[in-house]
Amino acid sequence: LRRSGLTAPEALLAATATGARLCGVGDRLGRIAVGYTFDAILLDEAPADLRLFEQPGAVSGVFLGGRPVLAHPRLPASMTGSAAPPTHPVPNAADRAAAGRVLPSGPAIG
């Protein structure tokens, strides 16, 4: 999306809220809001330069279905100790490489 001319914020919005809406699931995915499923990745840097996603270790936390599956170091222990195993597998480096640079559920904006 960036290579097609979108700005970083436009690309992130297209990959989250707009993408969910176009796929018919915008009523429950693609945003951080009450009633929405919380799938998100956490970064320690602003993704203004989306090449950040290509750097190993750039993702410092992952939430699937509202539960931390890769707990960010700054999360309170009460959020990390009681998390159930993820209902779908967390991709490893080989899975991410095989999938290319597609992020099915990135940071929600808007």
For 71-91, what is each residue's pLDDT tens digit?
A: 877 777 777 664 444 444 444
Helix/strand/coil for 37? coil
DSSP character string of 16-34: IIIHHHHTT-TTTSSS-ST
Cα 101 to Cα 28: distance, rounded to the nearest angstrom: 23
CA dihedral (42, 47, 53, 59) in degrees, to 10, reads: -20
Asked if 32 and 40 touch (Cβ cutoff 8 Å), the reply is: yes
Write down the pTM of the prediction. 0.56
For 20-37, what is each residue's pLDDT tens digit?
A: 999 999 999 988 889 999
| Residue labelled with tokens 């222990």 | 77
